[in-house]
Copies of this chain bind each other. A is one copy, B any other.
């Protein structure tokens, strides 16, 4: 400990930093960007929390980026050797670690200084008080921004064991190492960090005058927060106070083909087509065969989703948040009718589909906003089947898959397809199961010509094939 103290004294002077930058300090700090620094030993759930927080903040409009100190460390070392790297008296390794810490910190600070960026998350152990003081000094004092610490504390042996296993599976450092050896190395690495670990103090001993939140046992043990003040900090506290599962599978489906789908109409509250009805039966059969424990079904309040899930034996919840994007004055029109009656609206929509709002209706951004409470609840659940609609499922999947905003309105979410989303490490995996029941395609890709004065032909070029009326489909089915 005394040696490590000496190293800190020599090495951690801010003036020794490689890249001294000058920053324009904001006059008032209230609405400044925020640096969140994670604190805690390895295997305490810092990285998954940082990742989840990043996903949530970005989706809800605060542009956020994680800076992972261990990735900087890896740039300086060809391959991870062993726990020796983390010993307090290993001076050359210490230099690499402190250099990595500073590079990550400075990159995060520089990124935060760019207009529009709101929250940088510095993911790493940050176990020493002097490291935290250095973060505070640069970000709070020099830049005039805001700083918040999130400490992950975990004493639950079961949870620790699970976290360690996850590290062995997902960490680059242990790739290719035998499990037993890796586990031993990880324990020693942990012991080195423990020797250097000073937990940020709260209450009258408050270490630094900025918010500190301690998350106990991944949230299962609750949170202790001190000094939270500021809109983004409160929002973050609300998010991280909820425990979330480490194993999670969610299922999504659009309703079965509706009578409106068959004839190419948007919106409305139509019934299922005969083929849509078949899909409902196939879906119920498929889900039953999975035999999912504690299965729940969440649908919209519209007829076509309720009919689709009707045969599934599980508690069902009907939420208006899951209703299809509301197209206002354009409800129940075909694209051909839309082009005929509202050519300007259709062109505006094609030009910027994400932000475009139907007259007296909604935009994709509106749908994303109204979905946030449902997504927050969904993120804490497993074995939920959500039966909803094309635009809504695009917005929901975009959350889990972190789809770039501008791509959301063009995501491919076909009818008669079950989508399975599974948490894998820090990210979500997606699998699709196409049911062998014919249906129309409702995906209209972005036309090349989105100008206000385009021809009807140009506007309608990407409209998918549909029937003129439902009887036509029924005749076709009878003819088979």
Contacts and interface: CB of A to CB of B under 8 A. Distances in A.
Interface of A: 27-28, 30-31, 202-203, 221-231, 234-235, 237-239, 241-243, 296, 315-317, 319, 357, 359-360, 373, 376-377, 380-381
Closest 4 CB pairs of A and B: A222-B226, A238-B238, A234-B238, A231-B373
Nearest to A226: B222
A228 B381 CA distance: 14
Contacts of A229: 242-243, 380
A6 to B, nearest CB: 34
A473 to B, nearest CB: 35
A227 B242 CA distance: 8
A447 to B, nearest CB: 21
B27 A317 contact: yes
Given A235-B238, A238-B237, A239-B234, A317 B30 contact: yes
A379 to B, nearest CB: 10
A364 to B, nearest CB: 15
Contacts of A221: 203, 226
A28 B231 contact: no
Contacts of A228: 222-223, 241-242
Contact of A315 (B28, B239, B241, B357): B28
Contacts of A231: 373, 376-377
Contacts of A359: 359
A203 B222 contact: yes
A237 B234 CA distance: 8
Nearest to A204: B221
A357 B381 CA distance: 36
A353 to B, nearest CB: 14
A337 B219 CA distance: 58
A358 to B, nearest CB: 11
Contacts of A376: 231, 234
A161 B343 CA distance: 68
Contacts of A224: 222-225
A173 to B, nearest CB: 33
- Most chain B CB inside 10 Å of its own CB: which residue of A27, A231, A239: A231
A380 to B, nearest CB: 6
A317 B241 contact: no
Contacts of A227: 222
A296 to B, nearest CB: 6
A254 to B, nearest CB: 22
A225 B203 contact: no
A226 B243 CA distance: 10
Given A27-B315, A27-B316, A317-B30, A377 B237 contact: no
A317 B26 CA distance: 9
Nearest to A328: B357
Nearest to A228: B241
A31 B381 CA distance: 13
A225 B241 CA distance: 8
22 contacts: A27-B316, A27-B317, A28-B315, A30-B377, A30-B381, A31-B317, A31-B319, A31-B373, A203-B222, A223-B224, A223-B228, A225-B241, A229-B243, A230-B242, A230-B377, A231-B376, A234-B239, A234-B242, A234-B376, A237-B241, A357-B357, A359-B359
A430 to B, nearest CB: 24
Contacts of A202: 222
A223 B226 CA distance: 6
B225 A222 contact: yes
A223 B225 contact: yes
A317 B27 CA distance: 8
